[in-house]
Structures are given as structure tokens and as C-alpha cells.
Amino acid sequence: MSLLTRRRLLRRAALSATAAGAARTGLAGATLAGTTAVSVAGCDSPPERNTDADPDGGLRFPDNFGWGAATSAYQIEGAAKEDGRGESVWDTFSHTPGRTRNGDTGDVAADHYHRYAQDLDLMRELGLRSYRFSISWPRIQADGSGRPNQRGLDFYRRLLDGLHERGIAPMATLFHWDLPQALQDDGGWENRDTAERFADYADAVFRALGDRVPAWLTINEPKTVVQNGYIWGHHAPGHRDEAAAYLVAHHLQLAHGLAVQALRASGASGRIGPALNLHPCYPADDSAEAAAATRLYDGYENRLYLDSIFKGAYPQDVLADLGPDSRMARGVRDGDLKIISSPVDLLAVQYYTPIYVTGGGGTVRKWPTSEAEWQQIYPEGMYDILTRVTRDYGRVPITITENGLPCPDTPGPDGSIDDAGRVSFLRDHFAAAHRAVRDGVPLESYHVWSLLDNFEWAEGYDQRWGLVYVDYASQRRVLKRSAHWYREVIRRNGL
């Protein structure tokens, strides 16, 4: 696939993403432009099984397996103007008319900032062993630099103490997309200096909270910032500039490496790694063209982020495709790859969907999609990506930090929420992860996305991804059927 072809593909994706008004990833946009018609899997009618795993086969996970759930700051906290929090790009974006469904914002979200104690109790009720959350940069540094805001740090200290009291291991993400707006005004991730600012912020957080956090994640899904934020423009900051996008990719990777170095320098003992959304890419047919296009697609989706961190080099095919004069190529300085490939302690994998690539560089759907039309339900993809990462990048400990399904989740007459489709989805993905463990993948933990229903970015509050239902009018929480089921999985340490 030449650069030109890929450009065309990307442009097509952008167009259909806009038309759909809901697409989340390049995959989604490109898929909409594709040709394969698919059925949409209903959440109350369990999706067709795509796995050979037997759900009743009594699968046991390794002792001390870290069953968990995940959230992120802007999606749940609310309290957007409290205790010295500054504005982030997502405040700006969500308050811009037409950017999010129904004009929804994260101003209140699930009000977790005020209700965190109740949410901690819910985690205990579920029996969670691990909780993956993110720290809001603009709570710690309102304008992205300078002395940390003590009130912001105190919130996370209270949260961490609460986790500790309940015997739940914290896993803290430093950046889940809420860049301080002041840094965006200075060029955001297009500006190399933002990576340095991120390292300073990370250092302040390590020094303040390092004694309480055993595991850190640097940047959540850099690829989504690149694609959704800078190519398709349906995430903050809403740009459509492919040339800038890959420079952004480099600066995000640089920020990751600098944060790893900052942790080591701070003397904190926690482990650290990247949080990457990986997409297994498959040829849509048997042609040599589809095989070649899939290889390059895999470069953009996976190797751009994995190779730089684990091999200290960007993939040659992607660099060649972007061209020697690309803004990214010109932005890479001597020594950058050494920083980016600073040794990490763990790799966080986020898996939602596979990608099927045609000879022409387009994509098609092969499996039923969920309410998030970019998501094809294919549990085997989880097995494939986990085993591939271990095969190609060595035995770095792996944690799954996101995997889940959106469902309509309307309460029944008795108030209960019967999300049978989510139970079926999780069971099949847990089984696929179990097979990967059996086949040698050093998987330590699994965090379902998400603990709570929350602000799903451009989709606002329309899509519900939680194990726990949130009635946004009253902020009442209700455990869905999947939450009750998950509690049993955790209790039995398996299926």
C-alpha cells in the first residue's frame, strides 16, 4: 500500500466517520466505507460464539490473578472546577457545540470525585483485586506546569488509602487524554516540549504518590490520540492533519520514555509500562495484495508503538510509507529512541476488536459488531494478540487494562439490569485469555472496561460500558447481572 493509497484510505475513513457521527477509530471509519454487511449483536441476545473455549469447562486462572476493573479520570470524576482543577482539552472539546452526542460533557460524569468512597465499597463488594484508574493532569497542574496542586494530590491519596484499606491493588495511569488546555494552546502534542512537561508532571506524581502505587501506566492508547484526535478529529483536540498526527505519535512515545526514566530517578519502587490498544490485523482474503496491505496496517496499528518501546526502532515499512520528509521523520532526534525504549516492567494491553484488511488497503467486517459500531466481537483476537506480543517482544509481564462491551442496559421493572450479552462477551474473552496463559503468555491481571457507566468521549452518556449501572439523574449505582457474575468468577478464580 503506497502512501497515496493509505492517504486515500484515511480520507475515506474521515468522511465516513463524520457521516456516522459516531465512529471511534480509523478502523470504524474505514470499515463503514467497506463493503461487508454485518448484523449488529444485541446485548440481550448473547452473540454468536467465535471461540472454541468451553464456558463450563472449569477454567482456573493462576493463583493471585489480578481480577480488576478500569476507569479514567475525565470519564467518571466530574467536579470539573473543584479544588483548583484546570481545564483540559476534553473540557474544551466537549463544550464545543456539535462535538459530542447530545452535547454531553464530563462536568459531572459519575460524580466519582465526591462518591469515591461509595465506589470503593462497590469494588470491595465485587471482590476486585486490582483497580486501574487515571490521574487527571489538570488536577495536579492546572495549566500543565509548575508546582503541583496539593488538593488534587490529596484526592488521589484518599483514593489510594481507600484501596489499600480494602486490599485492592492500585494501577495508576498518568495520562488518559485530558491534556491541560494551556499546553494545547502552546501546540499540545505537536510541540516537543509537551513531552518534557509530561515528565515533570510524572515526576511530581511519583514523588507525592510513589509510596502507594505498585504499578504505573504512562500514556493511555497513544494511537487513539493520533488517529481520533489528529486524523479523524472526532476526539479532542479535534484536528484533521495526518502529517501532524505522526509527529504527535513520536512525542507521545517520547513522553512515555521520559516518564519511565523519571520513575527510576524518583527512587519510587513501583513498576511501569505503556498502555497500548492493540489490534490483531488479518487479511480479508487469500490474495498477496491483502497480505501486503495487512502487514503495513499492522505497522500503523501495532508495531509503531511496540517496536519503538521494545526494539528501540520505528518499523521501517511505516517510516518508508510516511516518507523521509514527513514531520515525524524530521521530529525524531538522536537519542530519542533510546529514551523511548527505556526498559519497562510490564505491558498493558487493551483489546476490543480485530481488523480485516483488503488488498486495496480498505477494511471489512467479519464478525457481529456491538453498539460501538467500530467493535467486532471476536474473542480469538485476544488470544492472537497476546500470544503474538509474547512471541515477538519477549516475556514481558502483561496486564489487560481494558476489554469490554457497551450495552443499552435499561433497568427492568424490578430495577435489575440483565446484561446477558456482556456476560457472554466477557466469558468468551476470559476463556481466550486463559488459553493464552496456558500457551505461555505471562498474563498477570485483567481489567474489565469499565467499573462504572461513564462519559464515553464523543458518544457522551449514550453508550454504557460499566459492570455497574449509573443512573445519572440520581447518581444511584446498581450492580448489573455482569457484576454479580464477575464477582463469582473472581471468587472461583476462573470460569
Catalytic residues: 221, 402
Alpha helices in 350-415 (DSSP H): 380-393
Q: How far is the CB of 396 from ligand FCB (least distance, A)?
A: 20
72 binds ligand FCB (CB under 6 A): yes
Applying CB under 6 A, the span of 100-108, 163-171, 218-226, 332-340 interacting with ligand FCB comes to 218-226
Q: What is the DSSP letter of 65?
A: -
> What is the C-alpha end-to-end distance of the chain, expressed in Å?
43
190 binds ligand FCB (CB under 6 A): no
Figure out which of the listed residues 133, 198, 216, 465 binds ligand FCB, where binding follows CB under 6 A. 465
111 binds ligand FCB (CB under 6 A): no
Which residues are within 8 A (CB) of 242 and not within 5 positions of it... i.e. 6 or more apart?
7, 10, 230, 231
Which one, 61 or 305, has the nearer CB to ligand FCB? 305
457 binds ligand FCB (CB under 6 A): yes
Q: Which of residues 347-386 bind ligand FCB (CB under 6 A)?
A: none
Figure out which of the listed residues 402, 409, 419, 453 binds ligand FCB, where binding follows CB under 6 A. 402
Helix axes 481-492, 420-438, angle to 10 degrees: 30
221 binds ligand FCB (CB under 6 A): yes
Residue among 280, 350, 272, 355 nearest 309 (CA): 272
Total residues contacting ligand FCB by CB under 6 A comes to 11
Q: How far is the CB of 348 from ligand FCB (least distance, A)?
A: 11
Which one, 319 or 451, has the nearer CB to ligand FCB? 451
Q: Which of residues 150-189 bind ligand FCB (CB under 6 A)?
A: none
Q: How far is the CB of 177 from ligand FCB (least distance, A)?
A: 7
- 295/393 Cα distance (integer angstroms): 17
Is the CA virtual torsion 156, 463, 228, 387 positive or negative?
positive
Determine contact, residues 134/71, Cβ cutoff 8 Å: yes
Q: How far is the CB of 175 from ligand FCB (least distance, A)?
A: 11
Which residues are within 8 A (CB) of 165 and not within 5 positions of it... i.e. 6 or more apart?
none
- 145/186 Cα distance (integer angstroms): 12
Figure out which of the listed residues 141, 184, 220, 424 binds ligand FCB, where binding follows CB under 6 A. 220
Q: What is the CA radius of gyration of the chain?
A: 21
- 270/263 Cα distance (integer angstroms): 8
Q: Which of residues 268-297 bind ligand FCB (CB under 6 A)?
A: 277
Applying CB under 6 A, the span of 121-129, 216-224, 312-320, 322-330 interacting with ligand FCB comes to 216-224
List residues bridging with 219 in a β-sheet: 175
305 binds ligand FCB (CB under 6 A): no
Task: Provide the greatest CA pair distance for the chain.
Answer: 63
113 binds ligand FCB (CB under 6 A): no
Applying CB under 6 A, the span of 54-62, 217-225, 230-238, 281-289 interacting with ligand FCB comes to 217-225
Cell of 338: 533510546
Which one, 112 or 435, has the nearer CB to ligand FCB? 112
Q: What phi and psi, each to the nearest 5 degrees, are found at residue 76?
A: -125, -30
Q: List interacting residues with ligand FCB (CB under 6 A).
A: 72, 75, 220-221, 224, 277, 402, 449, 456-457, 465
